[in-house]
Amino acid sequence: IPSRIFYPSRVYSAIAYDVVAWNMRDNSSTLFVIYFDTMKNGPQPQSDYFHMIGAGEPIVCQQGRFAPNFVAGLTWGDLDGDGLDDMVVGGCNGIGYLCFAKNIGTKQMPRFSRLEWLVSGTRFINCLYVTSESYVTSEGTLRTQGLSDPLLQDWDGDGDLDLYVRSNRWYADQHQFYENAGGPKNYQFVAAKNPPELSKITEFSEGDVADWNNDGEPEKISSHKRFLLYHSSPDTAGSPIAGFNEFINCLRPHDIDNDGNKDVIVGLIDGTIMFCRNMGILT
């Protein structure tokens, strides 16, 4: 099926095939519904499940996909002072390098440059973790892992974005903090002591709580395997709203098209980053 969701790396034809998917209630099978949209109007919702999220579209840079393996985490922020949100992506690639992608598009249509590895001084920022001796290879060397969840935020209140990295959360749960010593227009990350506010971070929890439909009340978006779930409140059960061909490894809210609605940015286990447009009406 020449679908944006199933084959995000393919070149699209003039006719868009929008695909949505959800689990059956007994979890025994998966049902896929295909909408053929010849007028380029986007997905046409046919049930209450699909009142908010549009079909996923891949976010790519000039090199194609962002991560060589799978996306562990991603974060947004204007690191060069041009008014456009850039992206930092963490992956699991054996070393845990962080990739920086400069936004060279517009506020309504982001476009990203070639990837750069983030550095601190002359060293690449990495999340290398050496596993225990039980993981010694046949060649006698230790296996290594690298898994990085980045977060950009002005932790010290000086007007520029600092970098916090939670790394190797599945087996070590390490933490790194880098202060931005360069300023809002020229980032320079310097290793520093973790500020106490890091203990309050919730961005790496399962799902994101936000006012997703602009009604003044918090809702929640979470993931289950290949599916996005929408919760009408943080404590209620979720209903499927979108499906993908690979497992979802992280999701982040971000108004990527600058229309006033929070969209969902999804990192998949194959290294693809998908943009799911919020189709709701701002109220």
Residue 255: closest CA among 109, 74, 114, 79: 109
Alpha-carbon span 185 to 257, nearest angstrom: 22
Contacts of 207 (CB under 8 A, 6+ apart): 220, 221, 222, 223, 229, 231, 251
217, 231 contact by CB (below 8 A): no
Alpha-carbon span 224 to 201, nearest angstrom: 22
Strand runs labelled E in 154-283 = 162-167, 174-180, 189-191, 208-210, 219-224, 227-231, 239-243, 248-254, 263-268, 273-278
The structure tokens listed for 49 are: 């499940």
What DSSP state is assigned to residue 255?
A: -
- Write the pLDDT tens digit of every residue in 74-110: 888 999 999 999 988 887 766 667 888 899 988 888 8
- Tokens 């002072």 belong to residue: 81
| 3 state SS of 217 | coil
Of the ranges 39-48, 166-175, 241-250, which is most confident? Answer: 241-250
Residue type at 262? Answer: K
pTM > 0.85: no
Residue type at 259? Answer: D
- Write the pLDDT tens digit of every residue in 127-136: 665 555 544 4
- Write the pLDDT tens digit of every residue in 202-260: 445 456 777 777 778 888 888 888 888 888 887 888 888 777 778 888 888 888 888 88
Give exposure, 64-102, as e/b (b: 16+ Cβ within 10 Å).
Answer: ebbbeebbbbbbbbbbeeeebbbbbbbbbbebbbbbbbb
